[in-house]
A and B are shown apart, each in its own frame.
Chain A
Amino acid sequence: MNMKHLFYSLLITFLLLCAAEIFRPGFVLNFLNMNWLFLVLLIFGALMTLRLTKRQN
């Protein structure tokens, strides 16, 4: 299931970047808008949940 791998990969990226920003403020936010990454993560998360629910039904 491709959606699942994409979601996990984005989640790992998001958490890694959050950790990097906490340890070194500005490291991520100076060059990347985390809001967009978070939005993409939410969309993939929602799509994955929808698919899983459909399959279970």
Chain B
Amino acid sequence: MKRRFKLIYLVYFLPIFALAYLVWQNARPILDLNYSGKKTAIAGELVPAARVGTEKDEEGEYKIIKEEPVYFDVRLPRKYDRVKMEINYSNLNNELFEAGISRDAAKKSFDFSALENKALDGLSWHRVEEGGLVLYQRQEIYKSIGEFLSNPGGFNNTLIYRTEVLPKLSDLKSAGETATNFPVLQSLKMAVYHRGGILDIKADADGEFNVYVYNNEGRAESGRDLPAGLYTINIAGGEEIVFNKIFINSPYVAILGKIKFGELQEPLKIFFAGSRILAITDKAEGVQEIEVGGKKLDINRVSEQRGENFETIGLRNANVPRGNIELGAALFFLDNKNIFYPSFENFYNGADLSGIDFILARYSAPEERGETKTAKAEFDISGSQLSGGKIRFLLSLPNSSKGNLVKIRGINLEFSGEKYDFKKIIGKIFGNLIR
């Protein structure tokens, strides 16, 4: 008996259509997302909730940030290489407004990009703009960014903002070695000028640790027989690790960013270069008065950051009597004999620009439409590690106090990645099956 085909049987194609639609959505090289701060299928809510409020005015509903930082997670359906962020906001009550994106799975390390910098916007200096970089000069000396990069300003009169430039390294001819003779906690990141040959790094620690070496371009080096040049060494252990001694066979060692001291047997004198220093302790034994650049800095409370700003960028010394303290925001040196500057000082909120002649920034001012401003940021996420397929976006207003800091009216995200080649994918699957 011949059965007639009924049109209604076409509904059995529904599962196929649904799957095809989802495969297409998951494989698309571009993902557009309009985020309003509310939880969606892909994006989480803007949190912590205590720092964010929801309000409404004639322009519509918006999120108001009351304390920084705030963040949200986005679950990515596939691997993307870049993300463009466009943020609409108004009523910014801070000098700096920045966006960050997580680099590691623990979401502890972030890449930042400037959204608005009122200090730079207000500068009436000479400006040279090229490829997203802006060189602000008090007096016009450089005609192009390239000219500045090949012969940059001095460490004492140059600041950088959200970019990396190497100051001119010269006369690094001394031979010797560097060794710490005090306990260092958790990790230490150092810039080292190596004369070539074996770069010998030794550490004596109570616990397991890893040593990472990166070359000048940020690429990890697996061997230790290295050509002459500047390297970044990162010695990292767990939260409780104590490095009793760290040895490097180069006299040119600068500690980058921060150094966390353990219990000191005797007062320590250390040198630092920059225009400010920050100090914090997380233990009662770390409460003490330290001396920085000839000024007293009283660390009288646990977990409260204290800082001292100086009028000029320069080399100064810090005297730490007891340890159990973290010093940061400068370049640190164990002695003042072989000083070299592997990086410029970063621009920060409240920086004194009176002694500064050059600022090199990766920055473009936001566009204004009435009261609302639109700022753009772009991140390379090809090397970012995801946790559960999620990447974290952070909105930061550095050095701000509590209050109505900024109204967020909407965030557009555009993720872009490599277009999948289905021929290659099928070839790979068959290749694996045959193997």
Chain A positions within 8 Å of B, measured between CB atoms, are 2, 5-6, 8-10, 12-13, 16-17, 20, 25-33
Contact = CB atoms under 8 A, between A and B. Distances in A.
Given A2-B8, A5-B11, A26-B75, A31 B18 contact: no
Given A20-B19, A33-B41, A12 B12 contact: yes
A12 B75 contact: no
B22 A20 contact: yes
A9 B22 contact: no
A30 B12 contact: no
Give 4 nearest A-B pairs by CB, closest first.
A9-B11, A13-B15, A31-B25, A9-B14
Interface in B388-429: 389
Interface string B3-25: 00000110110110011011001
B8 A32 contact: no
Contacts of B196: none
A27 B41 contact: no
Interface of B is mostly: helix
30 contacts: A2-B8, A5-B8, A5-B9, A5-B12, A9-B11, A9-B12, A10-B14, A13-B15, A13-B18, A16-B18, A16-B19, A17-B18, A17-B22, A20-B19, A25-B389, A26-B77, A26-B389, A27-B26, A27-B77, A28-B22, A29-B41, A30-B25, A30-B26, A30-B77, A31-B26, A31-B41, A31-B77, A32-B22, A32-B41, A33-B41
B302 interface: no
A27 to B, nearest CB: 6
Contacts of B41: 29-33
B42 interface: yes
Nearest to A37: B18
B22 A27 contact: yes
A9 B6 CA distance: 15
Contact of A30 (B11, B14, B21, B75): B75
Contacts of B12: 5, 8-9, 12
Contacts of B9: 5
Contact of B15 (A2, A12, A33): A12
Contact of B42 (A8, A16, A27, A30): A30
Contacts of A2: 8
Contacts of A25: 389
